[in-house]
Structure 1
Amino acid sequence: MRAVAQFTITNLCDVVTSDTAPENPYVGQLWVNTATVPPETMVWDGLGWVLQNNLEELRETVSTHTTRFGEFQSSIDGMNSYVSSLTETVQTLEGDLSGEQEKVLEMQAQVSELQHSVDGLSVTMQEQFAGGINYVRNSAGLNGITDDWTITGTVSTDSSTDVQSNTTSDSCFVLGDTSTLTQVITGVVPGAYSISVRAKKTGASYTSYFYAQYNGNKYAYLFNTTSTFGWTEFSAVIPDVVDGTITVYAYNRLATLYVSDIILAEGTAVHKWTPAPNEIYTTEVKIDRRGIEVSNADSGQRTVITNQEFSGYYNEEKIFTLNKDETITKKTTVDGELTVGKTKFVPMPTASEGLNIVILD
């Protein structure tokens, strides 16, 4: 008996070219899809037809990389040019460096000499301006004769042209015949102090003097003379203060003694006059530990605010003052309505019509 069989040979490498997908595809089958322009080669992956290669995307990628490479090449060319220029600059700088080094060495030598000079100046300035706070209150009479001072005899203040031309403060105390001016300063820290004063003496034959008493019974005289003298600055250094109290004392016998710009300051250097802390004196404003006084020389008005009074003056006459819960005044002008308790006083449009009195509810 003879057996007969039929075989079908399939070429797995066959590529189907058509505008429709092949039926019953097998995994790995290729199909050139002519329905697209240009045709696309597809492959069956068991689930669907997948584009075998994306040539257009590859072309775009290659084109992009080509462009970037060209830009990179341009940057390299620019950098080469810049490096060449920089090399020339460095070579020029190297040529000048030796000369600059010599200049630097010269400058270092000058700085060294200057440093020595600055060190000397620092020491000098420290000695010249150490301290500076004036311990003497109302030290030139700018606030009149206050209770900072104890006086005997006749003592007044003066701010005449002669005084302004010869003092820093533009004011002074004036001691008459057999008069004294004393201030006791407390709270002084032990150490060295300087004291100075500007003074003028107009009479001879009798003694006038100015001193600082410290450490109980020690004295530092700034002047003690019978002779007359014009405006002169006197000073003294007290190197060994151990007591917290220093007394400033001025005495005059006969004629007149002018005393101004008194300053007691810490340190051995003599200082230019400044007022004590918390004291401000200008032409029309005075501020010290008592309070504030504001004046107007042209109008003769003056307002005083202290811990004892709040008052207004006109030509030394007290016009108004605050007394506990009431205000005392000599004259009052009301421009408009005036209400007193439950009563209101309303002026009529014209003075001839009088005053309208309204009783409030």
Structure 2
Amino acid sequence: MKAIGQFTITNICDVVASETAPENPYVGQLWVDTSASPPETKIWNGAEWVVQNDIETLRTTISILTTKSAELQSTIDGLNSYVGTMTETIETVSDNLGNEHQTVLEMQAQMSQLQQTIDGLTVQVTNQYAGGLNFIQNSAGLNGISDDWVKTGTVTVDTSTDTQNNTTSDSCFVLGASSTLKQTVTGLVTGQSYAFSLRAKKTGSSYSSYIRVQYNGNKYAYFFNQTTTFGWQDFSLVIDDITDSTVVFYIYNRIASLYVSDIMMVEGPTVHNWTPAPNEIYTNEVKIDKHGIAVSNAASSQRTVITNTEFAGYYNDEVIFTLNKDETQTKKTTVDGELTVGKTKFVPMSTASEGLNIVILD
């Protein structure tokens, strides 16, 4: 007995073209929808038919891109215009700089003429310092080791080339081994800040040297406290909480030499460049401070001193004349002409060999 069967072969790659969607579609099946004009090719994604090669979408995208391209071109045109304006501005600035350069050259020429005028002046003042804000008296030893300072040990003043090259005042204190220098400052405003500064150089090691400010009774602020050596350096500190109107500035050196100069103390929190204290004026040969006036002549080794305790003339360190109450004391006196003492007049003759006439006055 023969068995007879029948089967149908379906090409799953067939594209269905119809006005209605195929029934029971499988994922990926293609359908040409002939109901649309022009016909649209669609694919089944498992949930719905999706148009392939959507011309309208492409057209929309192309339209958007065209609009963006036009906007970009407009932006580029605006940038080109801005660059052109900037170029004109730069050219204008360059022209102005050229004019300014010419002005600077003219000013330099005028400065040169002014410098030549200054160089031609016959009056010259050098190394002159006028007092300012400084609370420290004789703050660089320009008036020697005055009684503004209390010292122990060996303390001298140095004005060597090294000191002049490294200080504003051209002068400094030099503390030898186991030496101290102290100054007490009174009359400060409580509740105010004070700034301190100085320059120093330490030449000996192994032992400590220090500089400090004692304030508010028993508080200390140190500029430095060290054993190692150092070259000329600036040191400064600010004390904000002053509650006592008195401070003590103290320098201590243990061994070798400690150089200290340009000591400055000012009211306020800002460190200032060095100046002498108020009422202190120092030039090369004139010194004026609260003690009085000293006028010297280095070439002749002469010095005249006027203070509240002394009116005297010196040759080197020897007193030649001095005012002592109601009399003037002199070591040597030369009179060129007549000399009257009381009622007696001494008249030199025309020649020295003829001697001297003594005349008794009525």
Q: Which amino acid aligns with 2:175?
A: L
- TM-superposition CA deviations, 1:63-120 (whole Å, max 9, x none): xxxxxxxxxxxxxxxxxxxxxxxxxxxxxxxxxxxxxxxxxxxxxxxxxxxxxxxxxx
Which residue of structure 1 aligns with residue 353 of structure 2?
A: 352
Aligned pairs for 1:88-127 (under 5 A) are: none
Q: Which amino acid aligns with 2:258?
A: L
Alpha-carbon distance, 1:282 to partner? 0.9
Which residue of structure 2 aligns with residue 169 of structure 1?
A: 169
Which residue of structure 2 aligns with residue 133 of structure 1?
A: 133
Q: Which amino acid aligns with 2:319?
A: K
Alpha-carbon distance, 1:316 to partner? 1.1
SS of 2:261's equivalent? strand
Which residue of structure 2 aligns with residue 158 of structure 1?
A: 158
Quote the Cα distance in structure 1 between the aligned partners of 2:292 and 2:175.
Answer: 26
Q: Which amino acid aligns with 1:310?
A: F
Which residue of structure 2 aligns with residue 280 of structure 1?
A: 281
Which residue of structure 2 aligns with residue 180 of structure 1?
A: 180
Alpha-carbon distance, 1:213 to partner? 0.7
- TM-superposition CA deviations, 1:233-291 (whole Å, max 9, x none): 10001011111001000100111000110011011111100000000111100001010
Which residue of structure 2 aligns with residue 113 of structure 1?
A: none
Quote the Cα distance in structure 2 between the aligned partners of 1:295 and 1:236.
Answer: 37
In the superposition, the TM-score normalised over structure 1's length comes to 0.63
Q: Which amino acid aligns with 1:291?
A: G
Aligned pairs for 1:113-262 (under 5 A) are: 133-190=133-190, 191-262=192-263
Alpha-carbon distance, 1:313 to partner? 0.4
Quote the Cα distance in structure 1 between the aligned partners of 2:149 and 2:143.
Answer: 11
Which residue of structure 2 aligns with residue 305 of structure 1?
A: 306
Could you tell me the percent identity over the aligned residues?
A: 73
Quote the Cα distance in structure 2 between the aligned partners of 1:255 and 1:353.
Answer: 65
SS of 2:313's equivalent? strand
Quote the Cα distance in structure 2 between the aligned partners of 1:217 and 1:345.
Answer: 69
Which residue of structure 2 aligns with residue 291 of structure 1?
A: 292
SS of 1:164's equivalent? helix
Q: Which amino acid aligns with 2:156?
A: S
Q: Which amino acid aligns with 1:258?
A: Y
Quote the Cα distance in structure 2 between the aligned partners of 1:233 and 1:347.
Answer: 65
SS of 1:321's equivalent? strand
SS of 2:195's equivalent? strand
Q: Which amino acid aligns with 1:146?
A: S
Quote the Cα distance in structure 1 between the aligned partners of 2:257 and 2:232.
Answer: 13
- TM-superposition CA deviations, 1:33-91 (whole Å, max 9, x none): xxxxxxxxxxxxxxxxxxxxxxxxxxxxxxxxxxxxxxxxxxxxxxxxxxxxxxxxxxx
Quote the Cα distance in structure 2 between the aligned partners of 1:185 and 1:288.
Answer: 16
Which residue of structure 1 aligns with residue 323 of structure 2?
A: 322
Q: Which amino acid aligns with 1:178?
A: S
Q: Which amino acid aligns with 2:330?
A: T
Residues 1:339 and 2:340 aligned together: yes
Q: Which amino acid aligns with 2:141?
A: G
Runs of 4+ displaced beyond 3 Å: none
SS of 1:151's equivalent? strand
Q: Which amino acid aligns with 2:318?
A: E
SS of 1:241's equivalent? coil
Structure 2's unaligned 5+ residue stretches are: 1-131
SS of 2:241's equivalent? strand
Quote the Cα distance in structure 1 between the aligned partners of 2:147 and 2:348.
Answer: 48
Alpha-carbon distance, 1:315 to partner? 1.2
Q: Which amino acid aligns with 2:305?
A: V
Quote the Cα distance in structure 1 between the aligned partners of 2:180 and 2:302.
Answer: 32
Q: Which amino acid aligns with 2:243?
A: V
Q: Which amino acid aligns with 1:159?
A: T
Aligned pairs for 1:47-86 (under 5 A) are: none
Quote the Cα distance in structure 1 between the aligned partners of 2:336 and 2:245.
Answer: 57
